[in-house]
Amino acid sequence: MIDIHTHILPGIDDGSKNSEMSVQMLEKLKEEGVTDVVLTPHFYASQNSVEKFLARRQVGFEHLMAALENRHVGIRLHLGAEVLFMDSLDKVDGLGDMAIRGTKYLLLEMPFTKWSSRNLDTVYKIQCNGFTPIIAHFERYIGFNGGLNEIRELKKMGCILQMNAESFQGFFTKRKSLKFFDEHLASLLGSDTHNLESRPPKIKFAYDAIREKLGEPGVERILYRGRRVLEKSEFVEV
């Protein structure tokens, strides 16, 4: 299994507090059967320069590597970021360093307010710069932005839509989530884990729910798309 969206890197955002917690989070995902984890700490271009963010991310990564020394977790780590949308995001220098390393896939967090056509224009400009946006937890914007139309528009534009595993909790949200995968609107799954308790490293139950409803091909499609995203990515095996 692939977890495309996590906040496991220690001490960089509101995710893992320290490297020991990060190791435990990785071990939990490994127990679930996850083979690949993308590390996607929050990046806010309005508050932080790319350089500063990359330096902090590197420090977090080195702390994690030190904590993992002599412990074979058996998982591949891919460095990335969760980039918060802003109007001039397409003009931010160094955006390429925010993509999943070695690829042109950019995990993009959209605003939790009503979107204007300008928002979609900016996404289009980011695409014109050569990136393929992966829209983080797209299901969380529904209701904030007035409906599914904008989400469907992003899909039509060629964005990849990622859903959080937690959407498979609860009868009605689970039913809706399955429908999004059934109609091929949703493409990828992530745990978006931030810690061990309130936002835990759990993703298997979501893959299992998809398998139960859509059969093995339903799961295989998600894994195939994930592998396509990570194909060219530079990873570290730990």
Binding-site ranges for Fe ion (CB under 5 A): 82, 192
Burial of 195 from C-beta contacts in 10 A (0-12 / 13-18 / 19+):
middle
Helix (H) or strand (E) holding 179: helix 171-182
Opening angle at CA 170, ends 204 and 209, nearest 5: 35
CA 32 – CA 49 distance, rounded (Å): 36
Contact between 46 and 205 under an 8 Å Cβ cutoff? The reply is no
CB of 89 to Fe ion, least distance (A): 17
Nearer to Fe ion, 82 or 166 (CB): 82
Nearer to Fe ion, 80 or 121 (CB): 80
**CA of 65: how far to CAs of 8, 11, 108, in Å?**
12, 14, 26
Query: Strands, DSSP E only, in the chain?
Result: 2-6, 36-39, 42-43, 76-79, 82-84, 105-109, 132-135, 160-164, 188-190, 235-237
Q: Is 105 helix (H, G, I), strand (E, B) or coil?
A: strand
CB of 217 to Fe ion, least distance (A): 28
CA 189 – CA 184 distance, rounded (Å): 13
CB of 7 to Fe ion, least distance (A): 6
CB of 216 to Fe ion, least distance (A): 28
**CA of 162: how far to CAs of 4, 52, 212, 236, in Å?**
8, 27, 20, 23
CB of 81 to Fe ion, least distance (A): 10
CB of 5 to Fe ion, least distance (A): 6
